[in-house]
Structure 1
Amino acid sequence: MRLAACLGVPLDIIEPCGFILDDRRLRRAGMDYIDHLDLARHASWEKFVAGTKRGRIVLLTTRGSIPYLGFTFEPGDTLLMGSESAGVPDSVAEAADARVRIPMRPGVRSLNVALAAAMVLGEALRQTAPVGMATDGMGTDGMGMETGRD
């Protein structure tokens, strides 16, 4: 939530999440950033797909075929992350338009979701933000970020 608020990108949470997210926990997790957050919650993957206008879905996954630094992001892309422990269901992975990965040393499992999101979102914004916006913190050009298990 903090990443999306600070970088000015919308955040969609697709349930069920890999964590409990009732109103009290949402307010606590959002701290003072929640008032600066463009947040939408979706009861399921199907409801997200049916109710959201977006560009390509780019899934961050350890099983991705393309290193994120070699991927060409486009304005309107939606970055999708699953839970740290289980990723996304196979049906969701199959619905993605692209699957990117962060290259890592052999023998290590994965980065945490927030760190992975920050790395890939930073590169996506560098590639897609209008001249000057990628470095001045003044917002994005339609890049979105989704998180959830399903």
Structure 2
Amino acid sequence: MHIVLVEPEIPGNTGNISRLCAAEHLTLHLVEPLGFSIDDKHLKRAGLDYWDLLEVHVHPDFSSVERMLKGHHFYYNTTKAVKAYTQVSFREDDVLVFGKETKGLPEDMLLAHREDCIRIPMIEEARSLNLSNAVAIVALEALRQTGFPHLLKESGRLFKGGRDTHEYV
């Protein structure tokens, strides 16, 4: 599964998301311009010692992501969507796209992919959730639906399972 951050601005958020991606075996894609340097100490601090576990790609623009992940299903996360993230049947190779902290995803991108826009339900008065929290919520639901592929459980054995059944192998 892939996490795409389009023009992220806050190094701490991207660091937290990097740590999530490393721990959950998700590939991270960062779309420039970034609001920080990849070498930023806040970014590294939030990711702690997980950087060697992370697969990360930096792209000059979103079309670079589309070319690299052609054939994958993209979901665009936005507060403007009608469909909740829980109404989607995720697959292991899906792409979860998130926008910058201050503006979200560009309006033209949302309009072009209206059927694939999803949201986290929240009260009307709340503008949005923190980016790293939103990524964690949606990514972990997607992983839950796909049976947490590639992950270890406390016994050290690989964990496999589907939507309703789970077993150790």
TM-score > 0.5 by shorter chain: yes
Q: How does 1:41-56 map to 2 (within 5 A)?
A: 41-56=58-73
1:2 matched to 2:19? The reply is: yes
The alpha carbon displacement at 1:24 in A equals: 4.0
One of 119, 142, 146 as aligned partner of 2:137: 119
Within 2, Cα distance between the matches of 1:139 and 1:36? 19
The alignment partner of 1:40 has SS state of strand
Cα 1:139/1:47, change in 2 over 3 Å: farther
For the residues of structure 1 that align with 2:127 and 2:44, how far apart are their CA atoms? 31
- Give the AA of the match of 1:66: K
| Percent identical | 33
Task: Supply the AA of the counterpart residue of 2:140.
Answer: G
Aligned to 1:143: none
Shift of 1:116: 0.6
Structure 2 residue runs of 5 or longer lacking an equivalent are: 1-17, 161-169
Name the stretch that deviates more: 6-15 or 83-92. Answer: 83-92
Q: Indicate whether 1:64 and 2:81 are aligned.
A: yes
Give the aligned partner of residue 73 of structure 1: 90
CA offsets per residue over residues 89-141 of structure 1, 9 Å max, x none? 123324446111111012111101110110111110111136x867838589x
Does the 8 Å contact 1:9/1:139 carry over to 2?
no
Separation (CA, whole Å) in 2 of partners of 1:45 and 1:14: 6
Larger Rg: 2
Q: 1:20 maps to which residue?
A: 36
Q: TM-score, normalised by structure 1?
A: 0.78
Structure 1 contact 56–76 (Cα < 8 Å) conserved:
yes
CA 1:135–1:61: 2 relative to 1, 3 Å: farther
Larger relative contact order (C-alpha < 8 A, sep ≥ 6)? 1
**1:48-78 superposed Cα distances (whole Å, 9 cap, x missing partner):** 2223345111011101121111221122110
- What one-letter code is carried by the residue in structure 1 that aligns with 2:48? M
TM-score of the aligned structures, taking structure 2 as reference length: 0.70
Q: How many aligned residue pairs are there? A: 138
SS at match of 2:133: helix
CA RMSD across the alignment: 2.6
